[in-house]
Structure 1
Amino acid sequence: MRTLMGYIAGLLFGLGLAISGMTDPARVLGFLDIAGRWDPTLMFVLGGAVVTTFIGYRLVFKRLKPLWGDAFQLPTRQDLDAKLLGGAALFGIGWGLSGYCPGPAIASIGGLTLPLFAMLIAMVLGWFAARRLSAS
């Protein structure tokens, strides 16, 4: 049941990304271009995500445990360190250069282009680098 729920959640997430325009790198880059031809339409997507998450967390945490799991898995660290800040900076640079973040990039694989392929390769290399750095 957990696997099925994971697939359903992933499908809903991917559909939401596609319907909202988050899989269109031109729209994302337009949103990030605040000093030029700014496209504010994704502000509504981000705002909707924040409101949904806020309400969802309030409802979910009224339960003692998840419906299809033994316990909630929440991060325990709350400090800012160089790895977190460096990772956030790399994420932002990659998002700004390509117009894709990981979710929309994976949701866009069906329409694979050379820039998307390059971004996916860089993302996978980043995962391996992060694993290697965290082990040391």
Structure 2
Amino acid sequence: MGNTPRNFVAFASGLLFGLGLIVSGMANPAKVLAFLDLAGRWDPSLAFVMAGAIAIAGIGFRLARARSTSVLGAPMQLPTARRIDPRLIAGALVFGAGWGLVGFCPGPALVSAASGQPRAWLFVAAMLAGMALFAALERVAAQRRQSSS
């Protein structure tokens, strides 16, 4: 099977995900910050969005574990790591801090940037810079490990 059906399904899935973020309010940083403001004017509505997303993902992962290929024939690539290590904790802390400070996480930030929000463009630029810095630091660490062995 060629890549055209896969690309179409990927595009349609991304479009559906983006629309879901808009409809649910996850692409609205003010709504996200209100959800995170437990001591102030807390808006619990995003808890229902998250609970629904976790339930749907749980069903999807359960079904995916029973398969070796996707519906379109691509190899099934599910996460296998189970260990909680310092890198995972640090990543979660950085993710949470960014989300709490500005009300964006990567997916909703891309949706908001596509809709023309200047704050989202700033966030996406900072996110890309952070990804580039991480990649550079990983290369340096790999070179050091390689030269010391």
Do both share a fold (TM > 0.5)? yes
Q: What's the secondary structure of 1:120's corresponding residue?
A: helix
Segments ≥4 residues shifted beyond 6 Å: none
Identify the residue that residue 33 of structure 1 maps to in structure 2. 37
Q: Distance in 2 between matches of 1:123 and 1:12?
A: 23
State the aligned residue count: 136
Equivalent in the alignment of 2:127: 123
Output the aligned Cα RMSD.
1.5
My pick for the range that moved more, 1-10 or 67-76, is: 67-76
Identity %, equivalent residues: 45
Which protein has greater RCO, CA pairs closer than 8 Å, 6+ apart? Answer: 1
Give the whole-Å Cα distance in 1 for the aligned partners of 2:133 and 2:90.
12
2:11 maps to 7
Work out the CA distance in 1 between the residues paired with 2:131 and 2:68: 33
Name the SS of the counterpart of 1:129 in structure 2: helix
Closer/same/farther in 2, CA of residues 120 and 42 from structure 1, 3 Å limit? same
Deviates more, 1:110-119 or 1:6-15: 110-119
Retained in 1: the 8 A contact 2:18–2:108? yes
DSSP-derived class of the 1:126 partner: helix
TM-score by length of 1: 0.91
Letter of the structure 2 residue corresponding to residue 18 of structure 1: I
- Which of 35, 47, 51 in structure 2 is aligned with 1:47? 51
Structure 1 unaligned spans of 5+: none
SS across alignment from 1:91: helix
1:10-34, Cα deviation, whole Å (9 max, x unpaired): 0010000000010111100000111
